Structure 1
Amino acid sequence: MSVPRLSSQFNILHNRFPHSATPTVVAMSVYHGDNVEWVREAINSIVTQIYRKFVFIIVIDGEIPVKMMNLIKDAAFDDERIVIGQNDSNLGLASSMNHAIQWAMSLNPRYFARMDADDISVANRLERQISYMDKHHNIAVLGSALQEINEQGVHVGARVMPANHRQITYLLPRRCTLNHPTVVIRFDVFRAGFLYQGELKNTQDYFLWVTLAANGFIFRNLKDRLLKFRRVNDFYKRRGLSKSLNEYRARLYAMKKLRRLTVWNLFYATAVLCLRLMPSKVVKMAYRLDRHLLDRIIRH
């Protein structure tokens, strides 16, 4: 499989990165709905990482407020590792990450690290994950556990995923078993031609994990909580019909690709879809129950 060329819908606005190669690319997308202060915290959490050998590409997904643009430009002028790209219109996270990947190909990186504009990476996140992947060359995708924080940055929960490849792939037909904002992906995955499905506006990570699992790539999750994930008040209301249906499609896709089409998996997928469409209070209760069940599965 070959990696397509950069889209005409994407261009680089600012690039003072002084090196022709780098071991690691960190990529984040921002759009008009992001909170400026949270974007500031997200950027600061990357540029102050203990691990320093990376380029940080921020993809502006369509038009954004002047205040946010100025924040990103100021950060880029202060740190030459920050590169600014922009989509001509709001294309979504999948296309934004694909553009970042395609742009970074010429830098011959080994790793691609995800970051979201409303989250905070802990200071040793990249050092921990890159060190682990340097020692475990068979791992293609490495995620981690995370802390959940509210709008004020207060700890409100945690999300720990199954650690080993067998558990991660076994559970894929029922749930997305990696925390997307925490992952570091070996760049050879993209050189082999595997990218996000650009037409997807959500669940793009779920479909990618299933495709990679079906093609023999190895996964791992660290139990370290290396990211502070922003869980806002309307977290349980935001999924909507589109995301709920795409999650259902992803589960069916996983059953087919991983040869796990069973009555239980079909029942689970249908039950989750029905729950997603219920009032937010019911969804909130189901979310808490799901976290509890996942914790028990991981322990056993």
Structure 2
Amino acid sequence: MTADRGLRFLVVESESPKAREERRNSVGTSSGETFIDTLTGLSPGCHCDRIELAGERRGTAEDADLASYDGVFLAGSPIHVYDETEDVRRQLGFMRAIFASGTPSFGSCAGVQLAAAAAGGRVRAIPKKREVGFARRIFRTGAGTDHPLLAGRPPVYDAPSVHSDEVESLPDGSILLASNATSRVQAVEIRHAGGIFWGVQYHPELTLQEVAKALERAQDGLIQDGFAADEAALRQYAGKIEALARNPGRLDLAWQLGLDQEVTDPARRTVELRNFIDRLVRPTCSARGRA
């Protein structure tokens, strides 16, 4: 692992102040702070800034000076991109500014939805039950077989995932890289207005502990939707995930949860983030004469 003392990253949060506080009370970090923790682990010595797009302290594209960064990361959030609100319009405008800056960008969950909608695609609520805990049996498309974003992933894999919205249709200039039975768009490349975005519907940045806590925060809705019979059943399931987080070598828990090393091994769970840095950010820096 090399020290990335020259790389400058911007992490963008779209979650509301209330959602941010609930998440901090649960796991100790906001969505953007989790991203920063993961990025500094992958690229020791990199410099990370964080900007909030919702709330009284919300930032603007002008504040961010997007072209000065080597990579931009869009974190997940409960935002509904299809809502016709000023907040959503402002965040879509920020994403369009990222594209126009030419700085490579990456997004997970709501991040991929923002990128798709900003470039002309459509986002909707999942017409069937949401995807919670883990996205199962994600498969690489023909285009995804050799795409650098998914380098190192097997043909079929699972990943941490919590979402109730999905990309319904991709904008022009997109390459669909991975799908599963729940959501057609699980990984994608989008080119728009001179910019390039790589993104996934799942969460390579999340730890297993954060997955467990996300389930606990959503327990009422999950019980209502039939994912668990009652609170005790949901807490038992989340408890197994937390126990596996503490001891990834617990084969019994991995077996009970139906997980393999694509999820339990942090190096494999975060492969898309590493690929984005190594295969898009660094070459772009070289082309710009920054490295």
Common fold by TM > 0.5:
no
The structure, 1 or 2, with the larger RCO (C-alpha pairs under 8 Å, 6+ apart) is 1
| TM-score, normalisation: structure 2 | 0.30
